[in-house]
Chains A and B, each alone.
Chain A
Amino acid sequence: MHRTGELYGQFKTLEQQKDSANLGMWIFLVTEVMFFGGIMLVYTLNRHVYFPAFAMGSNTLSLKLGGTNTIVLLASSFTMAMAVWSAQVGKRQLISLFLALTILLGFVFFGIKYVEYAQKFHHHLVPGRSFDIFYCSNHPTMCDDIGAEEMETERDELEKAKSLDPDLNSHAQLYYSAYFGMTGLHALHMVIGAGLLVWLLKNSFAGMYTPRWNTPVDTVGLYWHFVDIVWIYLFPLLYLIDRHK
């Protein structure tokens, strides 16, 4: 059933029909706000209580990788917005092009995230029995991707954090649980979004979206932008704690 642009009986105009679809998406997004809000609250509470450990954990993240991912994700929001515009003005080829670009940028994000996660596994920073915030400072040869100078500052910071919090390792583990929980759920949302984008791309190749009817492009766009907003908050919350020395 491909009812592209057909007016359903309960609506007066196509415009009203589209507004209803958008409203439905927004109501779903509001439930998502509450979903991520709960996790943000858990993060905020623990950050408040175990600040030295959270600052220490944050400083072991790569600002370069996180910053690049922020730019990549913002760019993908732009291409998504352009895909919606292309549909509204009826430029069929451009819809496919911008959707493909959005998917591509999504995968660049996944690639960078993979590099980051792999690094955390190597550095024993994944919550569990082998978690050890001191691993790299005790085994510098195992963490050769960290420069000598960086390693020196990390040692100083560890020393300082340890004097503020005797149980630094456990509390740093809390930070990393929050990190993996929040970024993992965000990535899961992106995987779902990428799946929806592939579906849109398939339909746009078939020429389904026109200025008269492009509701799916619009609503998936809303979802994709929402996921971007989540990252806009995750980036400063996770990567930028106490960066000033």
Chain B
Amino acid sequence: MAENNSTHHIVSPKTYLTIILTLMALTGITVWAAFVNLDQFNIVVALVIATCKATLVVLFFMHAKYSPKRTQLVIVAGIFWLAILLFMTMSDYISRVDYRGVRSPFTQVTSPGTRRLA
């Protein structure tokens, strides 16, 4: 085929190999980190590592790094809306106070790490 219209960036197998090895290593690190006692920060570390892995997949495996700006905008908008969903709802539940004498189980946090249950 003489004509090759595609000017798309072709990611090399070498890059893919680097990415997959990094992803495997990060999986090992996240398992290791789960056994280190960081109290409430275990989940933070786990989510930061997971987000690093997801970012690598999106940028390289899904070619977002080489996609048109408008595609990138759609991706960012999606993440932003997800953030609204999680942050707004969680901040509402966590900060909710007793309502007309009804105790919400979501506010019964006594001290960090231990939660009294309804």
The residues of A with any CB-CB pair to B shorter than 8 Å are 13-15, 18-19, 22-23, 26-27, 29-30, 33-34, 37-38, 40-41, 44-45, 48-52, 63, 67, 70-71, 74-75, 77-78, 80-82, 85, 88-90, 164-167, 171, 210-212, 221-222, 225-226, 228-229, 232-233, 235-237, 240-244
**Residues of B close to A240: CB separation below 8 A:** 30-31, 34, 42, 46
Partner of B6, one of A18, A41, A67, A85: A18
**Residues of B close to A51: CB separation below 8 A:** 115
Write the chain A residue with the least CB distance to B60: A81
Q: A211-B4, A212-B6, A228-B57 are in contact. Are A74 and B27 (CB under 8 A)?
A: yes
Write the chain B residue with the least CB distance to A78: B20
B85 touches A38 (CB 8 A): yes
B85 touches A23 (CB 8 A): no
The number of chain B residues with a CB under 8 A from chain A is 60
The residues of B with any CB-CB pair to A shorter than 8 Å are 1, 3-8, 10-13, 16-17, 19-20, 23-24, 27, 30-31, 34-38, 42-43, 46-47, 49-50, 53-54, 57-58, 60-62, 67-68, 70-71, 74-75, 77-79, 81-82, 85-86, 89-90, 93-94, 105-106, 114-115, 117
**Residues of B close to A212: CB separation below 8 A:** 1, 3-6
Minimal beta-carbon separation of A143 from chain B (angstroms): 23
A211 touches B6 (CB 8 A): yes
Partner of B10, one of A13, A30, A89, A164: A89
**Residues of B close to A34: CB separation below 8 A:** 78, 81-82, 85
CA–CA, A168 and B68, complex, Å: 50
**Residues of A close to B42: CB separation below 8 A:** 240, 242, 244
CA–CA, A38 and B57, complex, Å: 22
Total number of residue pairs linking A and B with CB closer than 8 Å: 163
Minimal beta-carbon separation of A63 from chain B (angstroms): 7
A67 touches B86 (CB 8 A): no
Interface of A is mostly: helix
Q: A29-B78, A30-B75, A165-B117 are in contact. Are A18 and B24 (CB under 8 A)?
A: no
**Residues of A close to B16: CB separation below 8 A:** 78, 81-82, 85
B1 touches A211 (CB 8 A): yes
Partner of A232, one of B5, B50, B77: B50
Minimal beta-carbon separation of A24 from chain B (angstroms): 10
> Can you list 6 contacts pairing A with B, beta carbon distance less than 8 Å?
A19-B67, A33-B78, A37-B85, A85-B12, A212-B1, A236-B30
Write the chain A residue with the least CB distance to B38: A244
Find the residue from A18, A242, A244 having the highest chain B CB count within 10 A: A244
Partner of A45, one of B46, B74, B106: B106
CA–CA, A237 and B85, complex, Å: 18
Write the chain A residue with the least CB distance to B30: A236
Partner of B36, one of A37, A63, A236, A244: A244
B62 touches A225 (CB 8 A): yes
Q: A77-B61, A212-B6 are in contact. Are A44 and B86 (CB under 8 A)?
A: yes
B71 touches A26 (CB 8 A): yes
Given A164-B115, A233-B50, A240-B46, 10 more A-B residue pairs with CB atoms under 8 Å apart are A15-B6, A26-B75, A37-B85, A52-B115, A77-B61, A78-B20, A166-B117, A211-B4, A232-B50, A240-B42
A243 touches B35 (CB 8 A): yes
B86 touches A41 (CB 8 A): yes
